[in-house]
Amino acid sequence: MLDVKKIPPHIGYYLAGFADGEGSFHVSFRPRNDASQPWKVSLCFNVSQKDRVILALFKRHLKCGTLRSRPDGVWYYEVNNLNAIVNHVIPFFERFGFLSAKKKRDFAKFKKIAKLVQEGRHRTEEGIREILRIRQQMNDGGKRRYSDAEILARFQPRESSETIRQTPAGGGG
């Protein structure tokens, strides 16, 4: 667990303020080919900026995450490991906080989802429905690769591959 008391307050508040304006908390769904677990739920905190130095401060003081660059010269600092999010990112922002109502709201929702995932609730359709409900209120809805309906549809019983192989190509009949 990150010892937030060791972070100099002027650095902690600077980084929190920077993240308040430039940071993002998001939750994404990636399809899996596992019938019992159709989605991988991923939580991520990231900040992007042309100046790598500021992002390196996040990595240094949060003691987790990765720095990478895009071809257009923009740098990303991101943390997408659940343990790092729970043990480093969340305690950091609980200690140093945000001023904007929007970021406070998104962070509170992000923490709720992290707790649900930690509890294993993301492994059930009911848990996924709860995560989707909370996520809908984050980032003003945001753009999503998969709609809630697409995510929930993968929980419906699917035909086995054996049934599909035995079905005539013309649809039978």
State the 10-residue block means of pLDDT for the chain, 173 residues long: 94 97 93 80 95 95 96 96 97 97 96 96 92 88 80 69 47 48
Give the pLDDT score at 141.
61
Q: Tell me the CA distances in angstroms from 39 to 74, 116, 117, one per residue in order.
A: 30, 15, 12
Give the pLDDT score at 35.
63
Q: Could you tell me if residue 99 is inside a domain?
A: yes
**80-85, long-range: CB < 8 A, 24+ apart:** 80/42, 80/43, 80/44, 80/45, 82/43, 82/114, 82/117, 82/118, 85/43, 85/44, 85/45, 85/114
For residue 24, the enclosing domain spans 4-157
Give the pLDDT score at 152.
87
Q: Could you tell me if residue 164 is inside a domain?
A: no
Q: Could you tell me if residue 134 is inside a domain?
A: yes
Q: Could you tell me if residue 162 is inside a domain?
A: no
Q: Could you tell me if residue 138 is inside a domain?
A: yes
Q: Could you tell me if residue 47 is inside a domain?
A: yes
Give the pLDDT score at 167.
47
Q: What is the CATH number of the domain that holds 123?
A: 3.10.28.10
DSSP H helices, the chain, are 9-22, 52-62, 82-84, 90-96, 101-118, 125-136, 148-153, 161-166
Q: Could you tell me if residue 107 is inside a domain?
A: yes
Count of domains in the chain?
A: 1
Give the pLDDT score at 148.
87
Q: Could you tell me if residue 173 is inside a domain?
A: no
